[in-house]
Amino acid sequence: MSNAIRLRVEGIGKVFTRRDKPSVEALRGIDMTVAEGEFVSIVGASGSGKSTLLRIVDGLIAPTGGRVLVDGREVDRPGPDRAMVFQQDSLLPWKTVVENVAYGLTLAGVAKADAHRTAQRFIDIAGLQGFEQHYPHQLSGGMRQRVNVARALAVDPKILLLDEPFAALDAQTREIMQTELLSIWQETRKTVLLITHQIDEAVFLSDRVIVFSARPGTIREEIPVPLPRPRSLHLKRSPEFVALVDRIWTLIEEEVRAGLKQG
């Protein structure tokens, strides 16, 4: 893809300073870009700061160095051009599915009727028809994550940020959700930045996989994924796919082993 640069991350570093404890350097010198309409994943051992980077891009936390640019404009707080899909349940338990999907819009001051109409469109895209009036606790984990994705898409962001969105799901549901995410992406053509610790998930979904080193997180390698689209789950059994996963795993393995020793 030779599209314009949508997201640019320049020299991002993050040191967490804590009272009475040694400070922790989570990220160091992260430089990366994501093109318009591109699907990029970041993988790395736990503690590699990948989730921190996502929060910096969303504007939830401030970096200690460097800057984040969306379409050339520096961002320092959450904005309507970015939307995040969280790992755990972050749906409001007292709101129905349609109210949850409309949440970002109502916060932005969109009138209720309009917000619900827009929400309905993304409820349809996410395959949640018939569950509009359900409450989150009445849905399965997979369904709740669909609501989460629909809620992020409903505000029509330029960039969709996904923080291990399927980590809490069982293996089978996770695979189904991956294909559904791909079809949603195909339909909406959003720029996507995904964080995951599942290497096969990253390869299956992405145009490019960025491998992080362990603490402090730095970019170890960027690996393009030249596999054809549209992709189906059969792809996961192809030799090209397996070879890519294997290569990334080798890169991360050392870091994971080192992490195990540290406890």
Partner 1 sequence: MRRLYEFLEQDTRAAGFARVALSTVLVLLIWQVVSMLVTNRLLLVPPAEVAVALAGEVEQGAMWTNAVATVTAVVTSFMVSVAIGVAVGLALASSRMLSLTGGPVLSALNSVPIIALAPLFIAWLGLGFASKFVLVIMVAVFPVVVTTEAGLRATDKQLVEAARSFNATPLQIFSTVTFPYALPFIVSGIRVAWARALVGIVVAEFFGSFAGFGFAILSASQTFDTARVLGYVIVLGAMGLAGSVLFAALERHLAPWRQE
Identify which of residues 96 and 206 has a Cβ nearer to partner 1 in the complex: 96
d(CA 187, CA 150): 13
Least CB distance from residue 191 to partner 1, whole Å?
17
Asked if residue 230 has a cis previous peptide bond (ω within 30° of 0), the answer is yes
Which positions from 95 through 134 interact with partner 1, judged by CB under 8 A?
103-104, 107-108
CB 118 within 8 A of CB 131: no
Based on the shown chain and the rule CB under 8 A, indicate whether residue 92 belongs to the binding site for partner 1: yes
Q: Cα dist. 145→150, 163, 170, 197 in Å?
A: 8, 11, 12, 17
Applying CB under 8 A, among 72, 93, 230, 263 the residue interacting with partner 1 is: 93
Least CB distance from residue 222 to partner 1, whole Å?
26
Least CB distance from residue 90 to partner 1, whole Å?
4
What spatial distance separates the first Cα and last Cα of the chain, rounded to whole Å? 41
Least CB distance from residue 119 to partner 1, whole Å?
13
Backbone angles phi and psi of 19, in degrees to 5:
-70, 135
Q: Which of 32, 108, 35 is nearest to 71 (CA)?
A: 35
Applying CB under 8 A, among 30, 45, 68, 84 the residue interacting with partner 1 is: 84
Chain residues binding partner 1 by CB under 8 A are 58, 60, 77-80, 83-84, 86, 88-90, 92-94, 103-104, 107-108, 135-138, 155
